[in-house]
Amino acid sequence: MNSFVSNAFKKLISSKEYSLWTKVLNLRKRINTPLALSFGSLGWKNGTEWLIENYVPCRSVGFIFGDSQDLKSFLVAQWAFNLATGKPFGDLQVNQGPVVIVCAEGSNSFPKRIKAIEDKHCINVEDKIVTVNRPIAMLIQREVEMLHNLLHELKSTLGESPKLLVIDTFSQCSAGIDENNAGDIAKYINTCKEISEQHNITVLNIHHKNKEGKYRGSTALYGNVDFIIETKREKRNSSDTEEKISTKLSLTKSKDSSTDVSHMLDFSEKSLGIEDNFGNTLTTLVLDEVTSVQKTAKNSNNYAKDFIVSFLKDSDKEYVEQSDLNDAFKSKMPKLNISTIKKNISFSCRELINEGKILEQKSGRNKAYTLATCDLPE
């Protein structure tokens, strides 16, 4: 079978489809054009290939945006480590390969972040993470040519092509363009797409939010990229009441997959074992836990109803206030934030009322509940 058909596709293609592929190959030989062509539905079985499962596709262009304290750069350092070593990101698989980071806002902190992650996992990334220690002006031809040359050199030197190129940040590498001009944004993204296509690499831009909590710039940014990821800092307490350093990761746009994916990321401060020139211990943040928000919410909704019935049965109060149920449920599910707790309890109470298992008593905005019968199962 012709090399035009990938090895993965060979396993799926039927004899009828093979004859069509043969016809297409003959057509391509006769049609003299540099343009990439497809015919009909051929190739429909080729699914999405993930760089980071459910979040970042291979050979694509996207953005991750958040406020300055939303831990975007710490997350990207973790992803770089996962890709370089092949270690899963929580319960999500990764497509192992080298990573290039354009540290346009200063590279001094990045090696420290990688070192702390290496120490936590006792794995060294060796030469699989490469940093460019200055901005790359993505709309200046000679700058882009240098980036192309670097990617070619890395493929030759490392023996494999880098899988991910991170632009940290978009604003630093888009000097001279108007973020609110659709034409300027389209030129920038087209440059990213050319890099992606020529080097089979994913280009991930780090960007900031505006005052309204949305990404800065023209709507052309949202319309022209393959995926957009958002980070949002959240306050959460652990079971010992110590405040966690947490951010919520959400996929908000994806051309080829569902956006119903979100994870809570918990970080902690780690000492680097070195001091600054004034004798102060240097620290950085390291990812401790990755929790699927959908999975947690679904499990807690199923668990909340049983919890409410059990709690009301064991209570010595005739009616238990909803705020008490919230507090008690929080102690059982410390990984959930208080907003999710309140929604779970409120939803579950309504279901139990509709099922005739509990009764509600209202006093203004306050709600309290009691068992509707003493014949509930043990």
- Domain membership flag for residue 376: no
Are residues 203 and 258 part of one domain? Answer: yes
- Domain membership flag for residue 378: no
Average pLDDT of every residue of the chain: 84
CATH of the domain at 315: 1.10.10.10
Q: 296 or 108, which is more confident?
A: 108
- Domain membership flag for residue 174: yes
Q: 201 or 294, which is more confident?
A: 201
Are residues 258 and 361 part of one domain? Answer: no
- pLDDT at 376 exceeding the cut of 70: no
- pLDDT at 165 exceeding the cut of 80: yes
How sure is the predictor about 239, in pLDDT bands with cuts at 50, 70 and 90? low
Are residues 267 and 129 part of one domain? Answer: yes
Nearest residue to 117 (alpha-carbon basis) of 289, 287, 291: 287
Q: How is 84-123 classified by DSSP, letter by letter?
A: HH---BTTB-B----EEEEETT-SSSHHHHHHHHHHHHT-
pLDDT at residue number 16: 65
Alpha-helical segments (H) within 316-367: 322-332, 338-354
Residue 34 Cα to chain centre, angstroms: 35
Residue 366 belongs to what domain range? 295-371
- pLDDT at 3 exceeding the cut of 50: no
Are residues 159 and 19 part of one domain? Answer: no
CATH of the domain at 227: 3.40.50.300
- Domain membership flag for residue 283: no
> Considering the entire predicted model, what is its pTM?
0.70
How far apart, in whole angstroms, are the C-alpha atoms of residue 171 and residue 169?
5
- Domain membership flag for residue 286: no
Nearest residue to 348 (alpha-carbon basis) of 314, 315, 299, 313: 299
Structural domains counted in the chain: 3
Residues whose CB falls within 8 Å of the CB of residue 65, separated by 6 or more in sequence, listed in order: 72, 206, 207, 208, 209, 215, 216, 228, 229, 230, 231
How sure is the predictor about 359, in pLDDT bands with cuts at 50, 70 and 90? very high
